Structure 1
């Protein structure tokens, strides 16, 4: 779905989250790959898999709710001294502008159900240190096409 076309898609639905998560690729060159379930101006819902540690970053336009579906690792919100483990069944929440990171993956696949309020544009990711990432390296949908 294009960044400039939120609101397209189903008005309601039932989603097989396990099947959606299983369909995500086993490997990626980006930090994560996602699939939108809903994409409305008020909120978007996605399933995404994390493939490697995610450096400190924040989102300027939305609050984010992350429900851990599978995998384990560490996550911090606000400050690296807040680092703690996460696992299936836990919910992580942070408001827009709050710096967060996922420094370690200890059990894969690491898959989240994410609800962003309001909708988070796929390019809304700001790395604290721009040398550690960009919108293109963060999410597969933002990656530049391989011209090979």
Structure 2
């Protein structure tokens, strides 16, 4: 049997998404904490928990599909006037460059399964008003001293 490179991305996998979501911390200093399931050039898949409202922002490099695993809140895509409630079982989709926000957390924990096409770099977040956030304040893996593993 051929030895495989331990650094190579997996070519297949089975993931217990519920267990991964349950392992996310109860609190965080950042807006969200995520765990990558896959991180390949064509697409990345993550489970992430949102800890506080996220201001208007967009991603330059990928389209994003957000499947709501738990929690409820409000989300808008493209226009703040489009704000609507979301809950478990719903799928939110937006293309790269489309401004979006999660202004209210109604019921926690708010956890999403995210599929980004192509791969979304952890620092690919641009806030419409730079005073409302930075990549370091957005995601725990970007925070100073974090372990991006």
Indicate the TM-score class for this superposition, using the shorter chain for normalisation: over 0.9
Give the corresponding residue for 1:35: 35
Shift of 1:82: 0.2
1:55/1:127 contact within 8 Å kept: yes
Give the corresponding residue for 1:129: 129
Does the residue aligned with 1:144 lie in a helix, a strand or coil? coil
Superimposed CA distance per residue, residues 43-81 of structure 1 (whole angstroms, 9 cap, x where no aligned partner): 000000000000000000000000000000000000100
Give the corresponding residue for 1:3: none
Does the residue aligned with 1:44 lie in a helix, a strand or coil? strand
Give the corresponding residue for 2:117: 117
TM-score normalised over the length of structure 1: 0.93
Superimposed CA distance per residue, residues 89-128 of structure 1 (whole angstroms, 9 cap, x where no aligned partner): 0000000000000000000000000000000000000000
Written as runs of structure 1 = structure 2, the 5 A alignment for 1:42-121 is: 42-121=42-121
Where structure 1 has 5 or more consecutive residues not aligned to the other structure, the ranges are 1-6
Shift of 1:145: 1.8
1:53/1:105 contact within 8 Å kept: yes
Does the residue aligned with 2:120 lie in a helix, a strand or coil? coil
Does the residue aligned with 1:122 lie in a helix, a strand or coil? coil
Instruction: Flag the 1:50–1:8 CA change in 2: closer, same or farther, 3 A.
Output: farther
Give the corresponding residue for 1:12: 12
Cα distance in 2 for residues equivalent to 1:45 and 1:34 = 10
Shift of 1:9: 2.6
Where structure 2 has 5 or more consecutive residues not aligned to the other structure, the ranges are 1-6
TM-score normalised over the length of structure 2: 0.92
Cα distance in 1 for residues equivalent to 2:42 and 2:9 = 14
